[in-house]
Amino acid sequence: MNQSIIAQKISALRQAIQTHNLNYYTLDAPTITDAEYDRQIKTLRELEEKYPEYATPNSPSQSVGGPVLENFSKVAHELPMLSLGNVYSEEELAEFVERIQKQLKNTQALTFCVEPKLDGLAISLLYEHGKLIRAATRGDGAVGEDVTYNVKTIKNIPHTLKGDNIPERLEVRGEVIMPIAEFNAFNQLAIANDAKSFVNPRNAAAGSLRQLDSNITAQRPLAFYSYGLGVIENGSLANSHYQRLQQLKAWGLPLTQEVTLETSTQGCFEAYTRLLQKRPTLPYEIDGIVYKVDDIELQEQLGFIARSPRWATAHKFPAQEEQTRLLNVEFQVGRTGAITPVAILEPVFVGGVTVSRASLHNADEIQRLNLKIGNSVIIRRAADVIPQIVRALPDDQQNSRDIIFPTTCPVCDSEIERIEDEAIARCTGGLYCAAQRKEAIKYFASRKAMNIDGLGEKVVEQLVDENLIHTPADLFSLSVNQLLPLERIGQKKADNLIHAISQCKQTTLPKFLLALGIREVGEATAKNLADYFLTLEALKQASMEDLLKVDDVGDIVAQHIVAFFRQKHNQEVISALLAAGIHWPAIKAKEQQAQPLAGKTFVLTGTLTQMDRNEAKQALQALGAKVSGSVSKNTSYVVAGEAAGSKLSKAQELGITILDEAELLQLLGSF
């Protein structure tokens, strides 16, 4: 590379990182992802290493964080608050361990204290004589901000330590976070009130802690976890980092449950894998794991390099947020006509998968994000959660264009209505709309409903597009020959599909009700409706009043049900489905269901040991059985206890089923 180009590149990177530091540390408004920030730092470091002639001590690669806000008073840290280096793979972890062993001239196994890397902001708590006297942010590592009043509002931070042998001066360091559940609740409320929401829990924690009015902080659900110590005066502590953390816990300071000791590189890596798996179930966000040499003397021997200790490193998890570009917005029509805007993205690897589409939910969401096509956007995908756009970056507004929400359905051109106070816009086309038809048929065929094997999305789409079916009832008159011309359908698949369609005719009433796709009627409601009305006929005739008597059926669901059965088209489809041969076993009323032994006659003889005869009689009667005193050919079962006599021999003569006491108990217990 040409020298002046290198100089320019280094200077541009430094400027960019300084701006990001300001945005991130001071303004709590980052404009790039952590992953991108880490990459920029890494590139800068690499360039500075390769071209040492350009390295300077005031490069942002050599310091931590951003400048201090003027409004808080400043706190000079007695011991600097440093940062951590990173490793990104098992090999880099092994290199980290080897480096330490080499420096210590130690080939023996080292013990590491392994902790989650909490994603919040670092804080220093100074206790004197066991009393919390000052709390400070990290700031630039050398000078932080005094946030004592705010920190004192955090509920799990003790103002007074409990127990013995507390050093006279003790500086506890740790992370302030906002737990995920609290963050979600806070944001939902903020969105509902048109107030400012936070982009992620870390920003929420940072924004909340750096309020000039501590009353505001007090209303924010923050929490603190300790991970280390700064100043220790007049007191002695264990020589193990792990034991020191346990000691902090004993004095009343919060510690996460995920701290372990590992005695090998392998053990450290296993801890990483375990924690990564556990990540989605933890109550707080973590962005990696931290490995720390446990022995404090060894820590001291190892010391620091510019930005971070040599005795610790962070192993980062795959980023859950990445930056990409919004290429377009498509509008999807759902089964009930709901129009959902879908973001089409430049593909980006985030949270372990490549994402190229993300739901934008509704028009309000687009407005809230102030989103325009062409914007750079931050995509977030936490494990097992659908990807979402969390914010648009304020850059390149000139080259962007507005997202126009359609006024007519993009599929059938029917009008779109948006009921006031409802966020959702809907196509009014009903089953005239091919999109709604497709979705209704997919739903009908789905596993929970009619469970038609092989009738997946693609096939339904082709069948509707080719005008082979208009309603679910049309499925039952399809022939193999009609299927064969379709794409990717051969003889075998066509045969199987026709077979599966005919097989599904034998179903249950709840599944059939679910398959009809009545709005707001899911599996549980379908089951409750079937249990209550017993027959389709009775449900069809049900009034609002009747419906409201069913478990979990409220006004809105009842209205949807009445409206559904009133519609002529729906009545026709139901008749056609029944005419095609769909059937289900009759459902017995609750009273009958509770009488599984109705019609059976029992005779009890001999001595029972677990219950007396009267109890047995009552239990059988409660299940609908008749209990008689003498054995005849009408007796269904004879229960023979100990020392049974003539009744038992008579039963044997007549060939009647004989139960012993254990079998009786088993029978009673099976209902």
Per CB under 6 A, residues contacting ligand IVH are: 82-84, 115, 117-118, 122, 138, 175, 227-228, 290, 309, 312, 314
Looking at beta carbons only, is 293 or 360 nearer to ligand IVH? 293
The two most distant CA atoms of the chain are separated, in Å, by 113
Give the nearer residue to ligand IVH in terms of CB position, either 116 or 341: 116
Rounded to a whole number of angstroms, the minimum distance from the CB of residue 19 to ligand IVH is 20
Measured from each CB, the residue nearest to ligand IVH is 122
Nearest approach, Cβ of residue 309 and ligand IVH (Å): 5
What's 61-129 look like in SS3? HHCCCCCCCCCCCEEECCCCCCCCEEECCHHHHHHHHHHHHHHHCCCCCCCEEEEEEECCEEEEEEEEC
Query: Which residue from 142, 120, 146 is spatially nearest to 28, judged by alpha carbons?
Result: 120
Task: Choose between 230 and 252: whose C-beta lies nearer to ligand IVH.
Answer: 230
Based on its alpha-carbon atoms, the radius of gyration of the chain, rounded to whole angstroms, reads 35
Least distance (Å) from ligand IVH to the CB of residue 243? 16
* Distance separating alpha carbons of residues 218 and 200, to the nearest angstrom: 19
Nearer to ligand IVH, 120 or 510 (CB): 120
**Is 540 among the residues known to form the active site?**
no
The minimum distance between CB 447 and ligand IVH, in angstroms, equals 43
Question: CA-to-CA distance for 209 and 148, rounded, in angstroms?
Answer: 10
Least distance in Å: CB of 84 to ligand IVH? 4
Please state, in angstroms and rounded to a whole number, the distance separating the CA atoms of residues 427 and 409: 6
Closer of 180 and 659 to ligand IVH (Cβ): 180
Considering the complex, state which of residue 293 and residue 504 has its C-beta at the smaller distance from ligand IVH: 293
Tell me whether residue 38 or residue 531 sits nearer to ligand IVH (CB atom).
38
Minimum Å distance from CB 242 to ligand IVH? 12
Taking the least distance from each CB to ligand IVH, the nearer of 47 and 290 is 290
Work out the angle at residue 131's Cα, subtended by the Cα atoms of residues 127 and 134, and round it to the nearest 5 degrees: 55
Q: In angstroms, what is the minimal distance from the CB of 35 to ligand IVH?
A: 14
Q: Cα(623)–Cα(173) distance, rounded to whole angstroms? A: 66
Looking at the Cβ atoms of 290 and 501, the one nearer to ligand IVH is 290
Pairwise CA distance, residues 392 & 22, whole Å:
19
Give the span between the Cα atoms of 447 and 470, in whole angstroms: 20
Closest CA to 434 of 453, 460, 408, 404: 460
Catalytic residue (one of 50, 117, 249, 292): 117
* Separation between Cα atoms, residue 161 and residue 157, nearest integer Å: 10
CB of 255 to ligand IVH, least distance (A): 10
In total, the chain counts a number of residues equal to: 671
CB of 197 to ligand IVH, least distance (A): 23
Pairing of strands 353-359, 339-350: antiparallel
CA distance 17 to 15: 5
* Segments of 297-403 assigned E as strands: 304-305, 308-309, 312-316, 321-333, 339-350, 353-359, 376-380, 388-392
3-state secondary structure 517-548: CCCCCCHHHHHHHHHHHCCHHHHHHCCHHHHH
C-beta neighbour count of 347 within 10 angstroms:
12
Angstrom CA distances, 258 to 113, 173, 299, stand at 11, 17, 22
Distance CA 338, CA 439 (A): 11
Query: Catalytic positions, please?
Result: 117
